[in-house]
Structure 1
Amino acid sequence: MGCGRVEDVTDNKKHDRGCVCDVVRAIKDIQDQATNDECPQCPTNCFLEPLGGLVSPAARHRADTRVFMLLTKDGNPFKAFFRDTDNCDNDCISVYFRVEDIFDGCCATLRVLEPLDANRHEVDLLNEEGTKINLRKLCKVRNFRLTGSCITVDLNCFCAIECVADVFLNVCD
């Protein structure tokens, strides 16, 4: 058993299942529900319900997305490319995602979210050389925008998940 793996016995068969898979599945369920429960004690818990629980209570009814980051085995944020609508810049990498679908046990389709600052300007997360994520730039991100880019991942390949925010992105169902 590897990083974060638990054994799952279903139909008398043993399967390895990672905790990241369980959390992403829970996020998907939370995004699909609209309930009004009391606020739990930990304000950034990925299992926090209802959707909008990671923001102020007044904004709960407007949230339709739980934004999260995935961390690789070495502790680095998992990054993905997205098609940027600007042709004149190079800020087409993000570490922020929205779950769109989960299938085949622990595979997921994730929508890549474009990172924006407090003024809704794009945040280029790369270092000056354009080769690695500059972790300090993650602190500038305050908003997100849907992109048209989705990726399919095996959630068993990640060791950690960090829920970032509950936001309203006007997602069509």
Structure 2
Amino acid sequence: MDTTRNDSSKDCLIEALLELKALQDFISNSSTKYFGKLLPKLIGADTIPFFLSTKEGLLTLTGDDFNKKTGKSTCFSTKYFRIESILKESGCVIVSLLMPLDIHGEHTKNICDCIQLKKTSTCVTIDFSCICAIQPLELELLKRKIIVEPKW
């Protein structure tokens, strides 16, 4: 009996992830005859950020972000993700890690200090069985500009 409940929860999670991916793809790929890819420009983002919950709390993963301008890599941890693809047959989802930035444009581990999310090229495959819930977040986290004004 308990496994049926788990299978049902897993199916529900897969459906939610598929819906989120479809919405994200719609934003990214929608095009009109006269205005082209206007929707992503109007929205200001091509990503729907989200949290993943496990039995222990919010899933936190570590990644590496390479800065092409400086040639340096930054190791970071994050609770923020972007869905890349869903592998229904294997029961996995591929997500890219979003780096949380504070008001100064520096990596932050504190959710309360997160002002902006930066897309990275770090991707991770996650087994559905580890996930209990998904929580989409505001697109504003991807669009905010970090502006530090002088004190005086």
Letter in 2 for 1:113: L
Aligned twin of 2:147: none
Aligned residues of 2:65 and 2:73 also touching (Cα < 8 A): no
Aligned residues of 1:101 and 1:109 also touching (Cα < 8 A): yes
What TM-score do the two structures reach when normalised by structure 2?
0.67
Compare CA radii of gyration and give the structure with the larger one.
2
Aligned length: 126
Distance 1:95 1:159, change over 3 A: same
1:120 paired to 2:101: no
Aligned residues of 1:3 and 1:73 also touching (Cα < 8 A): no
The 5 Å alignment of 1:9-158 reads 17-34=10-27, 61-74=43-56, 76-85=57-66, 92-105=76-89, 106-123=91-108, 125=109, 137-158=110-131
Letter in 2 for 1:158: I
Aligned to 2:17, what secondary structure does the other structure show?
A: helix
Distance in 2, matches of 1:2 and 1:148, equals 36
Distance 1:17 1:116, change over 3 A: same
Deviation of the 1:24 alpha carbon = 1.5
Deviation of the 1:3 alpha carbon = 10
Aligned twin of 2:149: none
Give a deviation string over 1:26-73, Cα, whole Å, max 9, x none: 1100001147xxxxxxxxxxxxxxx98xxxxxx853221111111111
Aligned residues of 2:24 and 2:47 also touching (Cα < 8 A): yes
User: Unaligned 5+ residue runs, structure 1?
Assistant: 8-15, 36-50, 53-58, 126-136
What TM-score do the two structures reach when normalised by structure 1?
0.60
Deviation of the 1:102 alpha carbon = 0.6
Deviation of the 1:92 alpha carbon = 1.3
Deviation of the 1:20 alpha carbon = 2.5
User: Unaligned 5+ residue runs, structure 2?
Assistant: 31-38, 144-152
Deviation of the 1:2 alpha carbon = 5.7
Distance in 2, matches of 1:83 and 1:66, equals 21
Q: Which has the higher helix share?
A: 2
Aligned twin of 2:138: 165
Name the % identity.
25
